[in-house]
């Protein structure tokens, strides 16, 4: 499973990228707002740091506007994936941009039917929002599994990008189901390394080591 980082925080991207944990980056208008930076400046910087796809989201609500904004964002880097919402207008924009050879990430997906339409419209990525479904008491991972089954039935090439990932457990579940990509906030990726038995075991080893009075260096 590829790891995308769901953030516009360039310091966090850089730290994870140095560890080989970043196959791409996703952003959205809320994350741009959180960064406090100009969208074009921050997206261009990220696109220069990370070779993989960097999703930059349009904000127009009509297809023509989404296409125009998408093409403008695409100027910021060859690796930009134009992000459009899963509305009827977004699907139109997806089809036009995909036909013209652009990577398109269709976002705000909450149903298998929406994912089916995005694949038909040529999306490179579909972004089902796991955490926001969990928030309303619907199992978000079930949606990932349904989309996986449907895409595999027909050999759709659209990649399943599990989004709105909130916990390390979401990452495990997405990987078990076979999501192509999961995009997670930096903290969730860091938490994947944590285990209380690792901490406990390390403490015991270090305590015993101290008792030996030895040094390695
Ligand atoms: O990838 C989409 C993501 O940014 C949404 O996450 O936590 O706001 O639902 P969240």
Q: What is the mean pLDDT of the chain?
A: 98
- Among protein residues, the one whose CA lies closest to atom 9 of ligand 1: 164
Strand partners for 125? 105, 159
* Confidence bin at 4 (pLDDT 50/70/90): very high
**pLDDT value, residue 175:** 98
The whole-number average pLDDT for the span 100-123 is: 98
**pLDDT value, residue 191:** 97
The whole-number average pLDDT for the span 188-197 is: 98
The whole-number average pLDDT for the span 30-41 is: 98
Q: Which of 9, 27, 30, 161 to mutate to test the pocket of ligand 1 (most atoms within 8 A of CB)?
A: 30
The whole-number average pLDDT for the span 145-155 is: 98
- For the CA atoms of 115, 100, 181, 46, the dihedral, rounded to the nearest 10 degrees, stands at -130
Q: Measured between alpha carbons, how far apart are the two ends of the chain, in Å?
A: 38
The tens digit of pLDDT for each residue in 84-109 reads 999 999 999 999 999 999 999 999 99
Helix (H) or strand (E) holding 178: none
- Phi then psi dihedrals of residue 81, to 5 deg: -100, 125
CATH of span 2-212: 3.20.20.70
Residue 58 Cα to ligand 1 midpoint, Å, equals: 16
**pLDDT value, residue 61:** 98
The whole-number average pLDDT for the span 43-70 is: 98
**pLDDT value, residue 78:** 97
Report the half-sphere exposure of 46 (CA within 13 A, side-chain side).
Answer: 36
Q: CA-to-CA distance for 34 and 28, rounded, in angstroms?
A: 10
Active site residue 83: yes
Q: What is the pTM of this model?
A: 0.96
* Confidence bin at 25 (pLDDT 50/70/90): very high
The whole-number average pLDDT for the span 122-132 is: 98
**pLDDT value, residue 39:** 98
Residue 186 Cα to ligand 1 midpoint, Å, equals: 12
The whole-number average pLDDT for the span 64-84 is: 98
* Of residues 87, 215, 104, 91, the one with CA closest to residue 157: 104
**Tokens standing for 71?**
């093409």
Catalytic residue chosen out of the listed positions 40, 83, 120, 215: 83
Domain locations along the chain: 2-212
């Amino acid at each position: 499973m590829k790891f995308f980082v769901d953030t516009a925080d360039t310091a966090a991207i850089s730290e994870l990228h140095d560890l080989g944990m970043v196959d791409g980056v996703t952003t959205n208008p809320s994350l741009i707002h959180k960064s406090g930076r100009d969208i074009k400046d921050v997206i261009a910087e990220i696109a220069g740091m990370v070779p993989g796809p960097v999703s930059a989201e349009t904000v127009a609500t009509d297809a023509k506007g989404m296409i125009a904004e998408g093409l403008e964002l695409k100027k910021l880097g060859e690796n930009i994936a134009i992000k459009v919402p899963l509305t009827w207008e977004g699907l139109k924009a997806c089809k036009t941009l995909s036909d013209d050879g652009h990577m398109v990430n269709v976002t705000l997906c909450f149903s298998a039917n929406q994912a089916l339409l995005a694949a038909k419209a040529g999306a490179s990525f579909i972004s089902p929002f796991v955490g926001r479904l969990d928030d309303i008491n619907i199992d978000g991972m079930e949606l990932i599994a349904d989309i996986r089954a449907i895409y595999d039935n027909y050999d759709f090439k659209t990649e399943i990008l599990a989004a709105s990932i909130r916990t390390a457990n979401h990452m495990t579940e997405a990987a078990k189901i076979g999501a192509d990509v999961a995009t997670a906030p930096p903290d969730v990726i860091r938490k994947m390394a944590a285990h209380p038995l690792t901490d406990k075991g390390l403490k015991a080893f270090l305590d015993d080591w101290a008792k030996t009075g030895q040094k390695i260096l």
